[in-house]
């Protein structure tokens, strides 16, 4: 059994993908279940997190298999995979603007309309203008003597998607930072204090989200321009390692955004509307991160490393890990309950 760099990269991307799946689904369900009032923004925040988790469900299904086995399915995944990168910045700005109170104050309504229009243009280009080459077109472009890919929506030779997406994503993040910098007065008891304490986490998450958008936009620009010029690199182990490395970089940055956002959500209850944050929610968040990291590393290793595992043993490994974690969670819950009772005894006496 020889473990190569490609095996390690494959292990890392599968582990990160599983981590993002568990963390995003946990956060989305937690926001929706713990919200004091389920407003439109609560549904957007929770639904956006759930959609992110579902995206990584599909992402895990792709990266956890042999690339030759998923090429027939990549046509649909290639199109669907770009939607979160368009919807993500928009959802982020809409929720941050609502949380900061600037929509209620009327300061960002015009900007929200502009961003909405740009987002619809980006979705329209993706759906109808065919700005991105299909997997078949990318593979066909590598055949000697083949015609270069021609983008049908271009301005002066530059694909229209490359003109819209960077402006759109940059505007979403800059407006989010502006809303966090100058929020309106909060109607919630101690809401201004919670905002000031959650602001560093949200600002950091916004900056990393901007890095994700610019990185993906730059990669899409490179692929489109190379495809149009007929200079795409040949399929090789080096090219595959580069592709996995890029995927790992973007997924890792999304994991950072998830952790930063989750820290703000569970520590200061920023999207649930609770007046007094609960320490128990923070403890459960940390345990969910431990589960996500451990589960991702264990299952990722069983899928990526050249170990002769039968599929049933992978299933049993996952079952044993989940059972162990549930037992530890129950044990810690009883300890937390006993500690709370001990703390109340002086008041009862």
What is the per-residue pLDDT across 133-157, written as a single tens digit (0 to 9) for each? 666 666 665 555 555 555 555 554 4
Rounded Cα–Cα distance for residues 41 and 46 (Å): 8
3-state secondary structure of 221: helix
State the helix-helix crossing angle for 279-304 and 237-268, rounded to 10 degrees: 170
From the number of C-beta atoms within 10 Å of its C-beta (0-12, 13-18, 19+), residue 62 rates as: middle
pLDDT in tens, 160-199: 666 677 788 889 999 999 988 888 766 666 666 777 788 8
**Which residues neighbour 8 within 8 Å (Cβ) at sequence distance 6 or greater?**
304
Percent of the chain clearing pLDDT 70 (strictly above): 74
Rounded Cα–Cα distance for residues 336 and 348 (Å): 18
Nearest to 214 by CA among 175, 258, 162, 255: 162
From the number of C-beta atoms within 10 Å of its C-beta (0-12, 13-18, 19+), residue 180 rates as: buried
Higher confidence at residue 241 or residue 348?
241
Q: Are 294 and 228 in contact (CB under 8 A)?
A: no
What's residue 98's pLDDT?
87
Rounded Cα–Cα distance for residues 320 and 147 (Å): 53
What's residue 236's pLDDT?
66
> b/e map of 108-129 (b: 16 or more CB within 10 Å)?
beebbeebeebbebbeebbeeb
Sign of CA dihedral 172, 178, 181, 182: negative
Is pLDDT at 349 greater than 80 in this prediction? no
Entry pTM: 0.83
pLDDT in tens, 77-118: 777 777 888 888 999 999 998 888 888 767 788 888 899 888
Higher confidence at residue 14 or residue 158?
14
138: which DSSP letter?
H
Half-sphere exposure of 116 (CA within 13 A, CB side): 7
DSSP per-residue codes, 77-104: HHHHTTHHHHHHHHHHHHHHHHHHTHHH
Q: What integer best gives the mean pLDDT of the chain?
A: 79
Lowest mean pLDDT among 32-46, 59-73, 90-104, 242-256: 59-73
């Amino acid at each position: 059994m020889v473990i190569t760099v490609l095996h390690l990269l494959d292990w890392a991307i599968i582990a990160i993908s599983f981590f993002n799946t568990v963390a995003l689904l946990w956060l989305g369900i937690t926001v929706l279940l713990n919200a004091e009032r389920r407003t439109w923004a609560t549904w957007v925040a929770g639904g956006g997190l759930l959609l992110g988790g579902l995206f990584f469900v599909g992402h895990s299904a792709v990266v956890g298999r042999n690339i030759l086995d998923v090429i027939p399915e990549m046509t649909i995944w290639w199109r669907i995979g770009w939607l979160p990168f368009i919807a993500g910045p928009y959802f982020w700005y809409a929720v941050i603007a609502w949380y900061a109170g600037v929509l209620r104050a009327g300061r960002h309504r015009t900007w929200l309309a502009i961003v909405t229009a740009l987002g619809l243009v980006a979705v329209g280009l993706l759906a109808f203008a065919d700005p991105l080459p299909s997997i078949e077109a990318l593979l066909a472009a590598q055949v000697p003597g083949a015609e270069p890919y021609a983008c049908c929506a271009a301005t002066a030779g530059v694909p229209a998607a490359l003109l819209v997406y960077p402006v759109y994503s940059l505007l979403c993040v800059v407006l989010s930072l502006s809303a966090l910098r100058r929020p309106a007065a909060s109607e919630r008891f101690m809401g201004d204090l919670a905002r000031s304490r959650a602001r560093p986490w949200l600002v950091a998450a916004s900056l990393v989200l901007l890095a994700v958008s610019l990185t993906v936009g730059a990669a899409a620009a490179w692929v489109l321009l190379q495809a149009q010029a007929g200079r795409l690199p040949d399929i090789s182990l080096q090219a595959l390692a580069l592709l996995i490395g890029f995927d790992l970089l973007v997924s890792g940055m999304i994991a950072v955004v998830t952790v930063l956002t989750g820290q703000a959500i569970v520590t200061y209850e920023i999207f649930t509307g609770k007046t007094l944050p609960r320490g128990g929610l923070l403890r459960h968040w940390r345990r969910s991160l431990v589960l996500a990291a451990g589960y991702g590393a264990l299952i990722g290793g069983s899928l990526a490393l050249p170990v002769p595992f039968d599929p049933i043993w992978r299933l049993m490994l996952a079952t044993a890990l989940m059972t162990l974690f549930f037992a530890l969670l129950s044990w810690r819950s009883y300890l937390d309950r006993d500690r709370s009772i001990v703390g109340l005894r002086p008041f009862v006496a």
